[in-house]
Structure 1
């Protein structure tokens, strides 16, 4: 098996994977309107009340609306609705829209074809849920220059005289919003209450990858006991969702490509809000292809005339590794590197470290490629020496073919004897390609998952390293580099195979027309370095053989 046969194998593998994905999508299409999944109530009366209240209508795409409160910070443009005092809309000012990068990316929204909101409510006799009306002193808030925090207060009073305030605190350069309940018991009886926090999203799944690959979209729960547990929408619909139902720590999230939201109950800084009682977690399907992930927390009994407070952080933003790590333990797991995480995650760590000095993701990719070539230099050198020796044996191989004619068994025996005599490993030329395969796949998944490279420019015509080259210049350069590299490799003994291999670089480059520009940039630089290395080694081996003949 030589390098060119390995390339054919890779191309066929990609093709098979693509058609398999197409077949599976036809066999198991996404369900448009799943039925409501049954929920399991907790043994306690308060928990049962939580389940009953949080599953009540309206739950789907037609959310009730009240007065809109707009909030603008340095990173976010948010909308809070007085109906439930819910966070209904969030635009990320530092991240461009997919279709129009000049507009901010919309993560949360409560109208249109895409529904995705963050809700909270209180459970107890007469306490406000996500369906009750709140009031606000202002309809517009903006984080001023030099101001580090911005508090938005919404209030309501129950018929029994219990005053409830929900306070959103936005902070400069933060995607974590502090959501605090302030409950003042103005009644004559003690108040027993629970608070629930949930994320509601439609079941639409993006498919940004090539050959059917895509990052995870759906809800997730993290606890120290169960660790990171993500659940597909289809499993929730079928009642097959498996996760730890309660714990004294953790967080819940709704994950999609590049972005995520999450209620944080065990922040990096501060104690878990689930103690002394456990947070109760739940995932369920709702009408109109909607899904919810939620957590319920029991609050201490509030005596008459007393006040209680409960604060929970809400992350709404991009899956930037540094920010995710600062939010909660293992919150960076929402960044989906797929099955090749073992390669992609450390590769991105190195890339991010280099970017901290270079300041450009394109040049960082080039420098990472140089480091990888340096790391595998000894292995590649040994392989290229083997290929150079095989190239010198090409005339003798042709002579053996002529001598044995159609007797392929004797021809193969003679070739293997020649390799043994000349101490040449026929599989040695495959090693550089075998080494590149996991790195190539790791680069692909890294670029697919890394929001840091989304809409990140390199130079010249490349304005987004996460998208294909708009003018296909890099794929064409890759085809040229592959052709040049093939001329340095030993020719196949089979004329038909040799003819096919001449067209292989062009055929293989077609795949790269649709790959992210950052990935093709890596491959082009890698090929150029390989050509230089292979050329030098080939000339050196030729010189050594010539000197051996002359001596």
Structure 2
């Protein structure tokens, strides 16, 4: 076996290992489980304990009341719609006007927040935790009936103000505003006319009843709690949140972190997110909590305890992001709004140092071209251009090795059966001719992190969701919907459902083109003389075709473009160094060998 074929087998085997490990670590999504949540019965709010020595309040209670028909304030902006319940003052209905659940034009728009009593109840609550000397009934709670003081509909131009008087001299107000995208601003104030000082701690809470029924449960994707605390990103899955140790002070399974200067905490889904954002520079207590009795996940941001003197008024600000994880919007909140590290709420993965700039380049190309499919091809060309110097050396070395084949055969004949002598002679020949036999593997090795990073970008970023390319490719984040089993739509029946056994054989147009592109690239070199090697190489493109057939269309588009460019580069570079690949001759030879193979 010559060194050229050894390198090719090594590179191919490495690719196989990578793909197999990939499928092991990142299996297809599990079937969507049934909704485990049910309406929660009414319970009394429990009074939190006294403030901590560091002058921060304890967390608010996790108790909630059953849903009911109550007055609401409408939310209506160009991008979102929903409402605020005056019972508890919860922001608990929110849907995104720009996004639909499926590609169908009459599909429901995406829901982010849902009220208590609905499936996957998920809402935001703001309020005041009582400090030392303040009674639990003196502050607004989950069953407090708020009154609209100003504004009837929440829009970017018209904030609303809610008010509640506790009847003991304390008047609570909550002003809610929203911008043109997905950021709410909540200003809470307390006016003290009681004649005595009171201590209170403002808080924000995001409550989620049960793990979301539409969770993807992919290893490559983080879904669950996400937060930033003084520059440190934390990601806690629902499973890990449910396994947190019991915290006596919080009265539930909980994890607590003290944030000194800046941070945020909330829940992230695949494409959507809700996050509590205290004002930059504001110390707060960040809490992740799970109530196993009622299967409730909760994140809290509790600000420092404040004292309201008689006749005085205090206020506290907090923001709530609830919407789509659009890169431009989130980056704007980070760069212009001062929300530190907010772009990291997008799950960039282990190769973040590659995925971040890769997405930036893809996003920029999409802005110039206007089509994400062509932007992926342009990205492929750009990547190939960046690694061209290394590829040039690799293909030039491969061409040089082809020229040395006659000399290598002479050395083998001269050494006879002495393999050690043969290897030493060949290594001396490589050294003399300045050839690196391992350089042929470099293009494959470079492609591995690029492949993983691009897969991550295509899978996790919202901008690829429902992004069309050409014709039948209407969603580059999903597999090719065409199928060879119905002759790509010519026969009057649908393709097999994803996840079924037949779906494995239901190859679309793009996976078939991928297999052909790999097969043609293989034909730049003659097949190995060893029949076992020849059979391995013959099956390789078609195995990859089936393995990658269920991947996102955008990734397959990248792979086809990469193979095409690699074929062209390798052909031209090898010709420029004196080796003339006989592609058509190699194709003919492969068919002749098949005919001559005994049955």
- How does the TM-score come out when normalised to structure 1? 0.83
Q: Please point out which of 286, 290, 307 is paired with 1:281.
A: 286
**Greater RCO between the two (CA within 8 Å, min separation 6)?**
1
Write out per-residue CA displacement over residues 436-458 of structure 1, whole angstroms, 9 at most, x where no aligned residue.
11111111111122112211222
Is 2:82 the counterpart of 1:78? Answer: yes
1:255-281 Cα shifts (integer Å, max 9, x gaps): 2212211111134xxxx4x3xxx3122
Q: Quote the residue 2:492 is aligned against.
A: none
1:13–1:426 Cα change, 3 Å: same
Aligned to 2:308: 302
Is 1:98–1:105's contact at 8 Å kept on the other side of the alignment?
Answer: no
Partner secondary structure for residue 95 of structure 1: strand
Contact 1:252/1:294 (8 A) holds in 2:
yes
Partner of 2:546: 510
Aligned positions of 1:176-195 closer than 5 A: 176-195=183-202
Give the direction of change, closer, same or farther, for the CA distance of 1:284–1:98 in structure 2 (3 Å limit). farther
1:494 matches 2:530: yes
Which residues in structure 2 correspond to 1:207-222 (within 5 Å)? 208=216, 212-222=218-228
Correspondences of 1:45-64 after superposition (within 5 Å)? 47=56, 50-51=58-59, 53-55=60-62, 57-58=63-64
Please list, as runs of the form range in 1=range in 2, the aligned pairs for 1:399-478 lying within 5 A after superposition.
Answer: 416=427, 419=430, 423-471=434-482, 472-478=508-514
Question: Shift of residue 424 of structure 1?
Answer: 3.7
Deviation at 1:396, TM superposition (A): 7.2
State the partner residue of 2:23. 18
TM-superposed CA distance for 1:22, in Å, is 6.6
Does residue 535 (structure 1) correspond to residue 542 (structure 2)? The answer is: no
Question: What is the CA–CA distance in structure 1 between the aligned matches of 2:266 and 2:147, rounded to whole Å?
Answer: 28
153, 157, 164: which one aligns with 1:149: 157
Mapped to 2, the partners of 1:425 and 1:493 lie a distance apart of 22
1:514 and 1:526 mapped to 2: Cα distance? 18
Alpha carbons 1:78, 1:91 under 8 Å: kept: yes
Q: 1:453 to 1:213 in 2, by over 3 A?
A: same
Secondary structure of the structure 1 residue equivalent to 2:265:
strand
Provide closer, same or farther for how the CA distance between residues 352 and 282 of structure 1 changes in structure 2, counting only shifts above 3 A. same
- Structure 1 match to 2:235: 230
> What does residue 380 of structure 2 align with?
369
Listed one character per residue, the Cα deviations across residues 71-97 of structure 1 (whole Å, up to 9, x for unaligned) are 111111122112211111211111222
Per-residue Cα deviation, 1:121-180 (whole angstroms, up to 9, x for no partner): 22233110233222337997364xxxx423233332212143322222122x22111112
- Match of residue 167 from structure 2: 159
Q: 2:322 matched to which residue of 1?
A: 316
Identify which of 77, 102, 110 aligns with 1:105. Answer: 110
1:506 Cα deviation from its structure 2 partner: 0.9
Q: Distance in 1 between matches of 2:104 and 2:189?
A: 40
Cα separation, partners in 2 of 1:441 and 1:333, compared to 1, 3 Å:
same
* SS of aligned partner of 1:131: coil
Q: Secondary structure at the match of 1:292?
A: strand
Unaligned runs of 5+ in 1: 34-38, 546-551
Are positions 1:135 and 2:135 aligned together? no
Distance 2:443 2:468 in 1: 30
Q: Distance in 2 between matches of 1:368 and 1:488?
A: 25
Deviation at 1:253, TM superposition (A): 2.1
CA distance 1:406–1:458, shift in 2 (3 Å): farther
Aligned-partner Cα distance in 1 for 2:413–2:540: 26
- Cα distance in 2 for partners of 1:482, 1:449 equals 27
1:345 alignment partner, SS class: helix
Question: How much is the aligned-residue C-alpha RMSD, in angstroms?
Answer: 3.5
**Structure-2 separation of matches of 1:502 and 1:194:** 70
Q: Secondary structure at the match of 2:556?
A: helix
User: Compared with structure 1, are the counterparts of its residues 44 and 186 closer, same or farther at alpha carbon in structure 2 (3 Å cutoff)?
Assistant: same
- The 1-side partners of 2:244 and 2:272 are apart by 26
Tell me the CA shift for residue 187 of structure 1. 3.4
Contact 2:255/2:289 (CA < 8 Å) preserved in 1? no
CA shift for structure 1 position 341: 0.8
Q: Quote the Cα distance in structure 1 between the aligned partners of 2:18 and 2:177.
A: 51
1:91 aligned to 82, 89, 95, which one?
95
